[in-house]
Structure 1
């Protein structure tokens, strides 16, 4: 696999670029795809397993793997060479996803005044409201990355009909646990915030738990499948279940 060391976003991929004084970014795509996201997740796991000298932090975006390192223990050239050698070992776009991932089953109420933009989003996707719910809940969605707010997952990909645009105007605020859709992705909001994504479902999840030893409920590479529930069931979950009714199982 040819490695390009350049800042040109149009260059052949994967590429290795310096980020700041103590970071390197390995990019597998210039736009989101299943293969690029898979490669970023798998490569991050490989870096952590390699236990590279001086690496103090790793993270993934939708299509890239980032690492930060201690300048007293290594320099850019040394780490770049090691990363290039790792990239050459295999086709990372076909790599297995990391071990330790989990499948989460998450109750969600769709529509009603709790998630008032379901009908709008369904119409844009060319679906009835009931078909839209069935489509969203038909298969697990991968946690492609965590970002924007602490513990907040971007989930995907949905089928092609869900390649709907963001709104031109912001919704002033959606609540914590809101499930919103755009561009074949879903966001589960970990905080109450304005958004341009359409609010189609509502969960009772606490995605960011700063009082816990592990504050993020979901991890990149995990998968989430949504289970439609009634408003009454949702309200019971809010009242009785401090993890939002979610249950999980190991994926391997």
Structure 2
């Protein structure tokens, strides 16, 4: 199946393998494209179209996994095209049920040793960088790379700094890293090319819980600055590490 809209324009629908459709709202991250993807997925979930078994979002796309044995992909694509045509998804409100999280974060120190380097790339002092990041309310744009791991953004334009040319050998669970106007909060300990600017005691992936992924696409986060001593106490307080949330109304 080819794209159901004019080649090179968005939104458009394409096939992914034998059992998938991809509804794309752009070819690079944008506020409008991410908003459209979140809103469209929520609408699909509400509509529960026959033959769609699972949905997920990336930064600016929605993936639909189909029942390949009992569903005509072309029929589902036509239904999705009708839904696309029903409104301007780029102007849609974000879906309901989102939450605002406040996550205590240590900036810099030996816990997050690349704050100064990242700040220099952005043309700021480490103190100004920490203040700006802590004061910016960011949205979970997608979950990916590792279980429950969020990509959050966007930061102001001067944070459009590149990834490192070499990998950091390993950052710990709860590391807050930065590149290309985005933040990533690590759910696992892993190598990364993003600069480690903050550290939290928040455990994102909880396989023992009924909802193992704590953050959801569309949630918003403020990474509140705390002192090293407070972080050490919060680390002993449980998997939330002092994080709290409230419903976004």
TM-score by length of 2: 0.97
2:148 pairs with 1:155: no
Give distance in 1, aligned partners of 2:185 and 2:179: 12
Q: Residues 64-123 of structure 1, C-alpha deviation per residue, up to 9 Å, x if partnerless?
A: 001101124321110010000000011101111011000000000000000000000000
The equivalent residue for 2:94 is 97
Cα distance in structure 2, aligned partners of 1:140 and 1:95: 20
Q: Can you give the 5+ residue segments of structure 1 that lack an aligned partner in the other structure?
A: none
Q: Kindly tell me: are residues 58 and 229 of structure 1, through their superposed partners in 2, closer, same or farther at Cα, counting changes over 3 Å? A: same
1:137 and 2:157 matched: no
Q: Is 1:202 the equivalent of 2:199?
A: yes
Which SS does the other structure have where 1:98 is aligned? coil
User: Is 1:82 the equivalent of 2:82?
Assistant: no
How many Å separate the matches in 1 of 2:213 and 2:162? 28
Structure 1 vs Structure 2 CA RMSD: 1.6
Runs of 4+ that moved beyond 4 A: 7-10
Alignment gaps of 5+ in structure 2:
none
Q: Which residue of 1 aligns with 2:169?
A: 172
Q: Give yes or no for contact 1:53–1:73 (8 Å, CA) kept in 2.
A: no
In 2, Cα distance between equivalents of 1:43 and 1:5: 21
- Separation (CA, whole Å) in 2 of partners of 1:187 and 1:36: 19
Decide whether the 8 Å contact of 1:10 with 1:30 is kept in 2: no
Alignment match, 1:107: 104
User: Aligned partners of 1:10, 1:236: CA distance in 2, in Å?
Assistant: 55
Residue 13 of structure 1 is matched in structure 2 by: 10
Contact persistence 2:2–2:14 (CA under 8 A): yes
Q: In 1, Cα distance between the equivalents of 2:3 and 2:214?
A: 36
Q: Which residue of 1 aligns with 2:34?
A: 37
Once the two structures are superposed, what CA deviation does each residue of 1:164-205 show, in whole Å capped at 9, x if it has no partner? 000000000000000000000000000000000000000001
Point out the more displaced range, 15-24 or 5-14: 5-14
Q: Could you give the per-residue CA deviations for residues 214-237 of structure 1, whole angstroms, max 9, x where no partner exists?
A: 000100000000110011000000
Query: The residue matched to 2:207 in structure 1 has which SS?
Result: coil
